[in-house]
Amino acid sequence: MNQKMIFLSNFLKSPAQVAAVAPSSKYAIKSILKNIDFGKAKTIVEYGPGTGPVTKDLLWQMEDDATLICFEPNENFCSFLGKSINDSRLKLINDSAENIDFHLNRLDINKADYILSGIPFSLIKKEAKMSILGKTSDALNENGKFIVYQQYNWHMEKYLKEYFSNVSKHMEFRNLPPTFIFVCQKMKILPAENR
């Protein structure tokens, strides 16, 4: 079964987990990845890679000594990715993004430079959503960025601003459906005397 058919069949079985009818378009992927400085990115995390269109472009542009950690709770997608991508830089984890802290510690990785997310935040309960956002902020290095691409979820900005500064957004219309892309800078903690 090809990439699009696997994606569609999993969407039909579990729309709450997949949330889109097709993988990200080449235009959406370009709009997402233009926010990454691949020359400086040593650790990148991806939430919800699905069938891997963003994953494959990340690996193509990453440096040879960089690491990509993908969190994919869908077993079918995990199996497809494991069979279709043979790259030692890829660490594929069949688990929720809520457990990023546990897995980074297990992999002996201190902080990530970039975290990307295509998971359907609009379909996630508020407690889990806030847990993921808090742990994502904690997992980023001081200058790290969180890049979120979503369909339907225009209100996501208010949640992102609770954990990140300089949240910018734009719409990529050349995707089915059109995609919101949010780029979030990690919020810096001021020393106590400056608060």
Rounded to 10 degrees, the C-alpha dihedral 52/46/164/104 comes to 180
Q: Each residue of 159-168: pLDDT tens digit?
A: 999 999 899 9
Distance in angstroms between the alpha carbons of the first and the last residue of the chain: 56
And the tokens for 105? 């510690």
The contacts of residue 108 (CB under 8 Å, 6+ apart) are none
**What is the domain count for the chain?**
1
The contacts of residue 84 (CB under 8 Å, 6+ apart) are 3, 51, 52
pTM over 0.75, yes/no? yes
Per-residue pLDDT band for 134 (boundaries 50, 70, 90) equals very high
Q: Each residue of 90-114: pLDDT tens digit?
A: 999 999 999 999 999 999 999 999 9
* Residue span of the structural domain in which 139 resides: 3-194
Q: Each residue of 77-88: pLDDT tens digit?
A: 999 999 999 999
CATH number for the domain including 12? 3.40.50.150
